[in-house]
Amino acid sequence: MVNNDIKNTIILLAGDYSNVINEHQSKNILTLKVKDRSVVQVDEIEKLDEVISISVVQNRIRIQLIKKYLKEDVIMAKKKDFKQLANTIVENVGGKDNINGLRHCITRLRFRLKDESLANKDVLENTDGIISVVKGGGEYMVVIGNDVVKAYNAVNDVLGISEGQLDQHASSVDKQNPIMKVINAVVGSVMPALNFICAGGVLKGLLTILSMTGLLDAKDGLYILINAMGDAVFFFLPIILGYNFAKHMKGDPFLGLVIGAILCYPAVNGVDLKLFGIATKATYTSSFLPVIAITAIAVIIERFLKKYIPSVVSGFLVPVITLLIVIPLGFALVGPFVNGASNAVNAGLNFLLGSSPIIAGLVFGGLYQVMVLFGIHQAATSISFMNVLSGKPDQIMAMGVLVCFAQVGVVLAIYLKTKDKKLKGIALPAVISGLFGITEPAIYGVTLPRLKMFIISCIGGALTGAFIMATGVTMYSFTGLGLVTFLGLVSPKNPDFILPIIAALIGFVFSFVAAFALYKDNDSDLVVSTEVADDKSKDTVVTYTVKSPLAGIVHELTEVPDQVFASGALGNGVAIQPATNEVFAPADATVTALMPSKHAIGLTLDNGAELLIHVGIDTVNLNGQYYDYLVKENQIVKAGEQLMTFDRQAIEAAGYKTITPIIITNSSEFGTINVLAKDRVQVGDLLLDFSI
């Protein structure tokens, strides 16, 4: 609710209660209806620190306020209260029993849920500390931002489990597709060690700079030591991945660690080995996929052996037998096969990129932020990421880390140009996080709600991608995201920062200039009219009509056999006993509420009215049976567009009434709501009107 002191100040500036004839509060929105709008000191109200925006439509004043708890010290306290945030998240993803798995990337908690319909997206997205909620690739992603690790740990605490152990509580039924399972397993093996991988990349980049500037010579002891620091994490990568992957697979993590160590053992790398009549020669240090494949087989064998070997000897006997089986098998068949498949995929990608590199750069660079939006960017770059970790330079990863600067350019332009206080407060932190490669706050908080700005950032990303592919900018080591990424884009053999910097600047400068030129605060959201032309305009009333979404017989709302609807507690309106099985949009609107049970639909009309169409009474108990939606949440629909279908005969046969209340849930923000239709209506007939 709005703070009383703030409200009283605003009412005083609006001419006090002698001029204010009605007031309505909804969250941080204060709506006033006044007798004479010329008395209202709009400019003075807008100057108040607590006011984000003010709009004036005829004699109705709508003021958006900063929520009273949004003070800097309390914001920081709330950000630190990750236990409360975790409780909210767990509750609104359907509870602990609905969670099949949980991992995190750099900005997102990635849940695998048994039933996504049990999650409450609206509550999550309106929770402080959560940027957005995204669904994609079989995952339900809660976007947190920079504090994702703290949120992840807090969620694990709430669930009462240790990191990485969530799946032992999960159902055996996992609807995630096999490809995403593999990708998630591989990525899940990297994420726990990502900070050390980045650290190794940064050290290698710094060493290149120190050598290039002559501050260190390759023979210096410090050079050799720093080189060891940077190389070790990559050289012994199979050990790190083996440990994490075995843990992820619910096997003994030390089994994976030992397999990784064997793959790095000097005596078996780069030498001719003849096993089962098969001659092999391979090097597995710094490799990625072989240890994953061999460990996956080892964990399966380990589980099998534990079922049949007595526990008194299984502690040492299971590892012995497992290693005796998988290591020869791995060196003879699995490792060579995986390496061959990986090389074939890389050859295919290189062929596609090489056949038309500039077009490939335009497409990938332009679509990368769209992939971020749907949370599939990790899948799109997974092979390239493996290449870099294995010591193979890669251009796709270079595009992935540099296109973010186009997003930063757009948001910086908006920050400098907007007069909206709240938007400035969102944009500046988004610019800062974007400079460090975290673009979700910029995308979800700033550019995506202003689609033109998001498109500009995609065009900037496309230009960056085209330049990268045309000039050969390449990632040599993974050093992290944002500004620090340039250290990984410098070739150790030919150190040069110029081309990577130009690539980033192309997207940044284009996006900044285009956004600065084209961005305008949406005047219709701020002030429609603050001037009074004459006395007649003060009393002008705008009337809106709503058409019937159903064909059937009209009833007064009081005739609905449900006291909540009949009393008007949910808002004023009308009811229809349907004669057909279709529901249509009664006006131009946005779909803002869909139910798991599919028995009702919420619309926000273009004039701000919030309309609920509730097909039947107590039909939520049917759990979606006999109902089907034809639209999606947040979809924009036109008057007359079909929204949903239902089987009224089957619903009635199941013992439920199909009378359908049609109500304006924010009725108090408007004038009298009049029922225009009588007796029988067809779809599209005038049903209601109301005034502003």
Domain CATH for 619:
2.70.70.10
Q: Which amino acid is at 68?
A: K
Q: How confident is the model at residue 2 (pLDDT cuts 50, 70, 90)?
A: low
Identify whether 350 is part of a domain: no
Q: What percentage of the chain carries pLDDT values higher than 90?
A: 21
136 by Cβ neighbours in 10 Å (0-12 / 13-18 / 19+) ranks as middle
Decide which of 296 and 54 is more confident. Answer: 296
Average pLDDT on 660-669 reads: 84
Q: Are residues 406 and 287 in the same domain?
A: no
**Which CATH number is 58's domain given?**
3.30.1360.60
Q: How many Cβ atoms sit within 10 Å of the Cβ of residue 589?
A: 25
Residue in the block written with tokens 């008395």: 39
Alpha helices in 602-681, H assignment, sequence order: 648-653
Span 668-679, mean pLDDT? 79
What's the confidence (pLDDT) of residue 488?
A: 84
Using DSSP bridges, classify how beta strands 686-691 and 543-547 pair: parallel, antiparallel or unpaired: antiparallel
Q: Which comes out higher in pLDDT, residue 161 or 572?
A: 572
pLDDT value for 168 = 40
pLDDT given at position 169: 40
Of the two residues 168 and 663, the one the predictor is more confident about is 663
- Between 462 and 52, the more confident residue is 462
Q: Same structural domain for residues 123 and 36?
A: no
In a domain, 213, yes or no: no
Could you tell me if residue 181 is inside a domain? no
Average pLDDT, the chain: 80
Domain count for the chain, please give it.
Answer: 5
Instruction: Identify the H or E element spanning 660.
Output: strand 660-664
**Whether pLDDT at 208 is above 80:** no
DSSP one-letter code for 309: S
- The alpha carbon dihedral of 535, 536, 541, 542 has a sign of negative
User: Out of 25-29, 146-150, 259-263, 468-472, which region has the weakest mean confidence (pLDDT)?
Assistant: 25-29
Query: 617 in helix, strand or coil?
Result: coil
Strand ranges (DSSP E) for 479-588? 543-547, 552-555, 572-578, 582-584
Q: Residues 49-77: what's their mean pLDDT? A: 61
If asked whether residues 60 and 92 sit together in one domain, one would say no
What does the pLDDT read at residue 272?
A: 80
Q: Which of 76-85, 285-294, 318-327, 414-423 has the highest mean pLDDT?
A: 318-327
Domain that holds residue 307: 238-343
Mean pLDDT of the region 20-30: 71
User: Between the ranges 3-17, 164-178, 216-230, where is the mean pLDDT highest?
Assistant: 216-230
Residues 289 and 319 in one domain: yes
Better-predicted residue by pLDDT, 236 or 426: 236
Q: Are residues 624 and 580 in the same domain?
A: yes
Catalytic hit among 105, 198, 264, 404: 105
Q: Are residues 362 and 463 in the same domain?
A: yes
State the Cα–Cα distance between residues 650 and 375, nearest whole angstrom: 40
- Are 135 and 244 contained in the same domain? no
pLDDT value at 405 more than 90: yes
Same domain? 409 vs 300: no
Instruction: Give the confidence band of 83 by pLDDT, cuts at 50, 70, 90.
Output: confident
59 or 220, greater pLDDT: 220
In terms of Cα–Cα distance, which of 256, 207, 251 is closest to 228?
207
505 found inside a domain: yes
Residues 612 and 501 in one domain: no
pLDDT at 106: 57
Q: Is residue 220 part of a domain?
A: no
Last residue of a domain, one of 121, 145, 174: 174
- So what's the pLDDT on residue 530? 32
What pairs with residue 274 in β-bridges? 279
Asked if 298 and 326 touch (Cβ cutoff 8 Å), the reply is yes
Q: Is residue 633 part of a domain?
A: yes
Higher pLDDT, 556 or 79: 556
Least confident range from 362-366, 522-526, 572-576: namely 522-526
Please compute Rg for the chain using Cα positions: 31
Region 423-431: mean pLDDT is 80
Average pLDDT of the residues in 518-526: 59
Q: Mean per-residue pLDDT for 15-23?
A: 82
Do residues 466 and 501 both lie within one domain?
yes
Query: Is 635 contained in some domain?
Result: yes
**pLDDT surpassing 90 at residue 524:** no
**pLDDT beyond 80 at 62:** no
Q: What is the pLDDT of residues 145-188, one digit of tens each?
A: 657 778 888 998 888 876 555 544 443 334 455 665 666 677 66
Residue 264 appears among annotated catalytic residues: no
What average pLDDT score do residues 590-608 get?
85
**In sequence order, which residues have a C-beta less than 8 Å from that of residue 280 and are 6 or more positions away?**
272, 273, 274, 331, 332, 335, 336
Q: 176, 310, 191: which is closest to 243 by C-alpha?
A: 191
| Range picked from 366-370, 371-375, 443-447, 460-464 for highest mean pLDDT | 460-464
Do both 582 and 480 map to the same domain? no
Query: Does residue 243 belong to any structural domain of this protein?
Result: yes
Strands 582-584 and 589-594: unpaired
64-73, 240-249, 558-567, 585-594: segment of lowest average pLDDT: 64-73
Averaged over 596-603, what is the pLDDT?
A: 88
Q: How many helices (H) and strands (E) does the chain have?
A: 26, 24
- End position of a domain, from candidates 489, 524, 559: 524
Q: Where among 289, 321, 343 does a domain terminate? A: 343
Long-range CB contact pairs, 263-271, < 8 A, 24+: 263/238, 263/287, 263/290, 263/291, 263/294, 263/330, 263/335, 264/235, 264/236, 264/238, 264/239, 268/331
Alpha-helical segments (H) within 309-356:
311-329, 335-355
What is the mean predicted confidence (pLDDT) over 389-395? 81
Q: Global pTM? A: 0.46
Checking if the pLDDT of 537 tops 90, the result is no
Clarify whether residues 104 and 60 are in a common domain: no
